[in-house]
């Protein structure tokens, strides 16, 4: 069974600070997606990373896929209150199956 | 354009009852997923449809859970003899399937079994 762990579980920071959250597994994934979810809503896709070592930037967010495709990180620069939410990573199995595995999420709170 | 819609938004039922949850995917999306999300957890995969067929139902917890997508568009998740442990938010997502099955989620149905 493939599992994804995320850390930290909770993070509360002041506006303008930088932060990094992590997504780790002992399993290899063919691709990994990051989502943000707000209360009462479904997750919204932020990015998909596919190649080991890949780095993608989305404005103030930087995503990296580990060389071995087992882990990923999300770095936010100069966090803003609008970044508040639950950040989820989801891995597609290495056999290109569709039974995506989600981590438990990191709940981020950015205080003004 | 219209996103993924799910109905009802909330469903309260009694233990032992039957419930149906509906998902309307984005038009033209061939792939459809059902997930269950418990409080404080990430979504848990239940089933994946490609067109009309259930391509992977490995996440359905037991035979009380069943899902259909008869015309390759709308899907219904059916739960028989509901139990209190079935209480959760049930999320639906759709995707074009290409290139990396990037999923668009609906708002979910919150199911409460009393």
User: Exposure string (b/e) for A35-53, b if CB count within 10 Å is 16 or more?
Assistant: bbbeeeebbebbbbbbeee
Contacts of A103 in chain B (CB under 8 A): 42
Nearest to B32 by CA among B19, B21, B17: B21
> Which comes out higher in pLDDT, residue B33 or A3?
B33
CA dist A2 and A29 (Å) reads 9
Query: Which member of B45, B56, B106 has the closest CB to residue A101?
Result: B45
Q: What tokens appear for A65 in the block?
A: 């896929």
Contacts of B50 in chain A (CB under 8 A): 98
Q: Which residues pair with A17 in a beta bridge?
A: none
Total Cβ atoms within 10 A of residue A2:
17
The residue-averaged pLDDT of A79-89 equals 97
**pLDDT value at position B40?**
87
Per-residue pLDDT tens over the stretch A6-49:
999 999 999 999 999 999 999 999 899 999 999 999 999 999 99
**pLDDT value at position B12?**
98
Strand, coil or helix: B84:
helix
**pLDDT value at position A96?**
66
Per-residue pLDDT tens over the stretch B48-106:
999 999 889 999 999 999 999 999 999 999 999 999 999 999 999 999 877 778 899 99
Does A100 reach chain B within 8 Å, measured CB to CB?
yes
**pLDDT value at position B7?**
97
Total Cβ atoms within 10 A of residue B14:
9
**pLDDT value at position A60?**
97
Residue B1, pLDDT above cutoff 70: no
């Amino acid at each position: 069974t493939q599992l994804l762990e995320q850390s930290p579980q909770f993070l509360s920071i002041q506006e303008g600070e930088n932060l990094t959250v992590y997504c780790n597994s002992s399993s290899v994934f063919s691709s990994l997606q990051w989502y943000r979810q707000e209360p009462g809503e479904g997750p919204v896709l932020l990015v998909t990373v596919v190649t080991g070592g890949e780095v993608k930037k989305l404005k103030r967010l930087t995503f990296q896929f580990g060389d071995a495709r087992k882990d990923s990180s999300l770095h936010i620069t100069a966090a803003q209150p609008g970044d508040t939410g639950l950040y989820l990573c989801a891995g597609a199995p290495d056999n290109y199956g569709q039974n995506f595995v989600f981590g438990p999420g990191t709940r981020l709170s950015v205080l003004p | 354009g219209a996103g993924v819609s799910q109905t009802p938004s909330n469903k309260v039922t009694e233990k032992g009852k039957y419930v149906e949850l509906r998902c309307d995917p984005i038009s033209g999306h061939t792939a459809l997923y059902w997930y269950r999300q418990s409080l404080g957890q990430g979504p848990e995969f239940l089933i994946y449809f490609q067109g009309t067929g259930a391509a992977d139902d490995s996440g359905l917890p037991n035979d009380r859970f069943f899902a259909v997508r008869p015309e390759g568009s709308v899907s219904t998740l059916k739960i028989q003899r509901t139990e209190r442990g079935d209480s959760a938010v049930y999320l639906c997502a759709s995707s074009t399937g290409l290139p990396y099955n990037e999923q668009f989620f609906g708002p979910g149905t919150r199911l409460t079994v009393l």
